[in-house]
């Protein structure tokens, strides 16, 4: 079932601060994303109604840009590189180990909203392949067997 809008939502204020301008659609979505950590379905409906932009168009923009998320994101984002250098050194198996350890697939978030998992193409550290990043922290020369201890390490820091 779809989440209901909160009684006092930020969304109306954000839309009004942009004078309900259609041309401000991306800026409005960015501010909503910053406030909620994602773009709730009810917020997209409000944007569509107030800006008089078809809902399908609002969804089109929201799903086009990587900066926008349509589901809540975890407190920690894990990015696993599947670029060529990392892939050739086994990063797909690292991703599989993460999926199995966290019980989610690439692109998903754990039910406790602790972690989101995302594969990416090249993190700019090819010499250290395979590489993954959790938050701002790099983990180099990753192997599937290191996954469990790395997750334990970052969890115990919270």
Residues in contact with ligand FES by CB under 6 A are 81, 83-86, 122-126, 129, 131
Smallest gap from Cβ 150 to ligand FES, in A, equals 16
Question: Given the structure tokens 């390490």, which residue do they identify?
Answer: 153
Cβ proximity to ligand FES: between 115 and 139 the closer is 139
Instruction: Indicate the pairing of strand 115-120 with strand 137-139.
Output: unpaired
Query: CB of 108: closest distance to ligand FES in angstroms?
Result: 21
User: Which is nearer to ligand FES, 47 or 123 (by Cβ)?
Assistant: 123
Find out whether 38 and 73 touch, Cβ atoms under 8 Å. Answer: yes
* Residue 128 Cβ vs ligand FES, minimum distance, rounded to whole Å: 7
Using an 8 Å Cβ cutoff, are 70 and 39 in contact? yes
């Amino acid at each position: 079932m779809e989440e209901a809008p909160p009684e006092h939502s930020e969304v109306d204020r954000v839309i009004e601060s942009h004078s309900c301008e259609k041309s401000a659609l991306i800026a409005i979505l960015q501010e909503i994303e910053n406030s909620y950590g994602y773009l709730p379905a009810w917020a997209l409906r409000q944007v569509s109604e107030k800006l008089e932009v078809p809902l399908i168009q609002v969804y089109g923009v929201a799903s086009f840009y990587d900066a926008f998320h349509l589901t809540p994101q975890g407190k920690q984002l894990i990015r696993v590189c599947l670029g060529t250098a990392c892939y050739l050194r086994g990063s797909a198996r690292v991703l599989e180990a993460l999926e199995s350890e966290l019980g989610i697939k690439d692109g998903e978030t754990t039910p406790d909203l602790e972690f989101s998992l995302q594969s990416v193409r090249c993190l700019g550290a090819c010499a250290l392949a395979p590489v993954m990043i959790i938050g701002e922290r790099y983990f180099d020369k990753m192997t599937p067997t290191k996954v469990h201890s790395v997750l334990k390490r970052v969890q115990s820091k919270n």
